Amino acid sequence: MVLRSETGEVEGVTLTKSICSIWDQVWNFQARPDDLLIATYAKAGTTWTQETVDMIQQNGDVEKCRRATIAKRHPFLEWLTMKHPTGLELAEAMPSPRTIKTHLPVQLVPPSFWKQNCKVIYVARNAKDNLVSYYHFHRMNKALPDPGTWEEFIEKFMTGKVLWGSWYDHVKGWWKAKDKHRILYLFYEDMKENPEQEIQKILKFLEKDVNQEVLNKIVHNTSFEIMKENPMANYTREFQAIMDHSISPFMRKGAVGDWKNHFTVAQNKKFDEDYKKKMADTSLVFRTEL
């Protein structure tokens, strides 16, 4: 049986107790100049971006991308769960160039990443779809705290009392940081609307070039339909003791606007009013439908 995580805080940001217990090690992580960091708020399209980046790095070679599960290809910096090597261990053992995943808000990113001037790809997803996805993920992933009811989870999300803290602070913090560091800031909704265009942005950012045939292959193999069936990307190959895909599959819907199937009119109104206040101090604009 897996016990759901207890939570703690680092500088006011909610994290699992186990992450808090190794926080010094996370903070002192030694980035290398050629590390690429993929940073997201949880459920914003991390895995999708990871697969896209790997397809680019492997020049569209599907077999190479299936060399290992996504969790092994890209260490999850701050993460640790029972019986699995920690993200730090995986990262330290990995030869360069490494691609590393994190959900940390920008102020908690280990300073060595900035010192080494590492490139970062940040992906943001509109709050409502992000929240829906996070709710279902808590239901199926027993390593996360119990989400409570949908109504309760909305409240937790709005107050930022969820793992990796406030979505609002996360997207705003990274948005500000992009003017100071080498950060490519992408949106889930754009990736969904025009994957080829967004892949082109990543190619440019990574200073890579591929021909049209390879580009088509990348678009195809990173589509929701293909990734859903890819055991090396859909999390069915490991974490079986933690994730129960029969409750809600990791590759759940992969859509923009699914929030409409979850929010009541009253919940939506309350959420929107609160959102306006929390997002009044940013130029960041999200689309909640396509």
Q: Which residues here bind ligand A3P, judged by CB under 6 A? A: 40, 42-48, 129, 133, 136, 222-224, 227, 251-254, 258
Cα gap 214→198, rounded to integer Å: 15
Give the active site residue among 84, 103, 136, 138: 103
Alpha-helical (H) ranges within 28-75 are 46-57, 62-65, 70-73
Give Cβ neighbours of residue 243 (< 8 Å, ≥ 6 apart).
Answer: 140, 141, 142, 235, 250
Answer whether 76's CB lies under 8 Å from 16's CB: no
Smallest distance, ligand A3P to C-beta of residue 24, A: 26
Q: Considering the complex, state which of residue 18 and residue 130 has its C-beta at the smaller distance from ligand A3P.
A: 130
Q: Considering the complex, state which of residue 42 and residue 80 has its C-beta at the smaller distance from ligand A3P.
A: 42
Smallest distance, ligand A3P to C-beta of residue 151, A: 19
Alpha carbons within 13 A on the beta-carbon side of 140: 19
Please state the φ and ψ torsions of residue 212, each to the nearest 5 degrees: -60, -35
Q: Which of 104, 98, 101 is nearest to 33 (CA)?
A: 98
Smallest distance, ligand A3P to C-beta of residue 230, A: 9
Smallest distance, ligand A3P to C-beta of residue 174, A: 14
Question: What is the residue whose two structure tokens read 């010192």?
Answer: 115
Q: Considering the complex, state which of residue 57 and residue 112 has its C-beta at the smaller distance from ligand A3P.
A: 57
Percentages (nearest 5) of helix, strand, coil residues in the chain: 45, 10, 45
H/E stretch holding 161: none
Find the distance separating the first CA and the last CA of the chain, reported in whole Å. 41
Q: Considering the complex, state which of residue 114 and residue 175 has its C-beta at the smaller distance from ligand A3P.
A: 175
Q: Considering the complex, state which of residue 45 and residue 165 has its C-beta at the smaller distance from ligand A3P.
A: 45
Smallest distance, ligand A3P to C-beta of residue 33, A: 26
Q: Considering the complex, state which of residue 28 and residue 150 has its C-beta at the smaller distance from ligand A3P.
A: 150
Cα gap 186→202, rounded to integer Å: 9
74 is catalytic: no
Q: Between the CA of residue 46 and those of 9, 123, 244, 268, what are the distances in Å?
A: 23, 7, 19, 26
Smallest distance, ligand A3P to C-beta of residue 117, A: 25
What's the token pair of residue 65? 């991308």
Decide: helix, strand or coil at residue 64: helix
Q: Which of 93, 91, 90, 84 is nearest to 113 (CA)?
A: 91
* Residues annotated as part of the active site: 103
